[in-house]
Structure 1
Amino acid sequence: MTRSQLILVLAAVALVVVLFQLPRSVVENEQVQEVVETESHSMEIPQEVENQINELRRLIREEENIDKKANFAHSLARHYLDYGVVDSAASYAEAMELWVSSPSELVADIYFTAFERSPGPEQAKEYAAKAREVLQQMLDKDPINLVVKNRLAMTMVVSENPMAGITLLREILEADETNRQAILNLGLLAIQSGQFERAKERFENLVSMNASDHEAKLYLAVSLMEINQQSQARLLLEEILATQDSIPAIKIMANDYLSGL
């Protein structure tokens, strides 16, 4: 993913970079009870994971206990999300909504992650709306849940009232000034709106809180590049690439940025 693509994605979705737009696709046509899996852009799924997927499909078909069925469906959807098969993952969230009677954290998790990893802004808005509905119901029941508030805020950013999402993020920081996700989200929104100095401050804060936060380091490097501090950005990108525990997708993007310097 190139630097220009990253900025475009942030502008369209105002979220973490879409990491899963790779050139292969998986077409899922098998019907699992009322679940119909659909085509999505994805990475190639390793055989070991494919075996786990097939086993989870079997368990979903055969399980009669609703809670267990929902857990199996969530696990299966997470596999799909890990490999970019977003539509198929979302189809299981839709099925789970039919199975369970109350707002489900598992359903919200699938929709929200589908929102984050959607291959385009229109699909992202669709899943954001579905996630927002479930998250709002959850927040109504538990108004101090900051994890739910963070997710709800980011779905609001792509709604007709984006300032409501930003206001909610600021409320989170008033309650917890070190809340990583709220700081990260506000930093990404600062990049999206071209406020690179403000973004730099947000990500520097995160790195000072946790020097091993490679995601924050990546976005700090992006912010530094935008304000012509390439030498500092280079050092951060080299740190990410030299670290064993940085996730592969972050390393891929760090390498792309470094190659462009």
Structure 2
Amino acid sequence: MHKQQLTIIVLALGLIVGMYSLPKVIVSDKSTVLAAEATAANTVDMGASTHTNNLDAAQIAAINDLRKAYVNSADNQKKTIFADSLAGVFKSASLFDSAAHYREAIAELNPGLESWTNAGDSYYDAFGFATDPQKANQMGEKARAFYQKVLEKDPNQLDVKANMAMTYVASSNPMQGIALLREVLQQDPAHERATFNMGLLSMQSGQYDKAIERFEQVLKAHPENDQAKFYLGISYAESGHGSEAKALLQEVKKTNTDPAVQATVDEYLKKLK
């Protein structure tokens, strides 16, 4: 999926993770794109750096104090609390790779389904916002490693499997990701995340009619799913269903105040006039 990439809008941070979670590295020039650069992009030193260019003075001070306490603590429970706080601060600053570093530390201190899932999800967030293919591969591999631990203990964690599938799709073995999504849908034909992801993949291949079917299926069961509504509107627009696209995108514009979403919707609405 790093090749032949789709021009799906990759939106601003905060609202987007888990919602508009197609990695930036799979975005291309097939149609209109408004790519909002993630502030977490291309941060390399996950544990040692404070990424001060992305943090305000209060956050830097908090991180310095928490890191010092984390490093100096010999008590696992306290160390876990400090690591959790560090992960939270980094996530709030949209530094997802650094947040994942501390989620991994927690998983090492307290191995189990919950900590493995949290670490996998954090690396999946970092994977989703990586702008560089090499960085995306690194984050995807880390996510898969933790997700694999979860699935070995509980193969019925379908959300985990659906996320894991997308890391494969963006790797050198994309068909393994497709196969995993199909496994999820065989077990649960209405699974929200897997259906949504299949919609994204249909968009990636330019099969907008299939994407429409997927996103409509998601919204039928989950009408509150804003990301499916957004991508359904884009799919309508790209497939020539102008009136449907306009109505849906106007609805998204009313309910979603994120600046990047607003800009993207405005761009499409201009084209649909």
TM-score (norm 2): 0.74
Aligned residue among 163, 167, 175 for 1:163: 175
Give the 5 Å matches for 1:124-139.
124-139=136-151
Q: Is the 8 A contact 2:50 2:63 kept in 1?
A: no
| Counterpart Cα distance in 2 of 1:18 and 1:62 | 44
**Matched position secondary structure for 2:9:** helix
Query: C-alpha separation between the residues in 1 aligned to 2:168 and 2:98?
Result: 24
- Return the offset for 1:145: 1.2
Q: Give me the identity figure in percent.
A: 33
Listed one character per residue, the Cα deviations across residues 199-231 of structure 1 (whole Å, up to 9, x for unaligned) are 010011112222222111110011111111222
Within 2, Cα distance between the matches of 1:148 and 1:185?
13
Q: Residue 124 of structure 1: SS of its match in structure 2?
A: helix
TM-score (norm 1): 0.77
* Alignment match, 2:212: 200
Task: Measure how far apart 1:191 and its partner are.
Answer: 0.7
Q: Determine the C-alpha separation between the residues in 1 that align with 2:105 and 2:224.
A: 38
The amino acid that maps onto 2:265 is A
2:18 is the counterpart of 1:6: no
Aligned to 1:144: 156
Residue matched to 1:89: 99
Q: How does 1:72-111 map to 2 (within 5 A)?
A: 72-93=82-103, 95-96=105-106, 99=109, 104-111=116-123
**Counterpart in the other structure of 1:153:** 165
Aligned-residue Cα RMSD (Å) equals 3.7
Question: CA 1:128/1:22 → structure 2, altered by over 3 Å: closer, same or farther?
Answer: closer
2:227 maps to 1:224: no
Is 1:185 matched up with 2:197?
Answer: yes
Match of 1:21 among 16, 37, 46: 37
- Could you list the runs of 5+ residues in structure 2 that have no partner in the other structure? 1-5, 11-21, 28-32
Aligned length: 248
The answer to whether the aligner puts 1:258 opposite 2:269 as a matched pair is yes
- Is the alpha carbon distance of 1:257 and 1:71 closer, same or farther for their aligned partners in structure 2, counting shifts above 3 Å? farther
Judged with a 3 Å threshold, the aligned counterparts in structure 2 of structure 1 residues 206 and 5 are, in CA distance, closer, same or farther, namely closer
Query: Separation in 1 of the partners of 2:178 and 2:43?
Result: 37
CA distance in 2, matches of 1:124, 1:25: 10
Q: CA deviation at 1:252?
A: 4.7
Segments of structure 1 that go 5 or more residues without pairing to the other structure are none
Which residue of structure 1 aligns with residue 30 of structure 2?
Answer: none
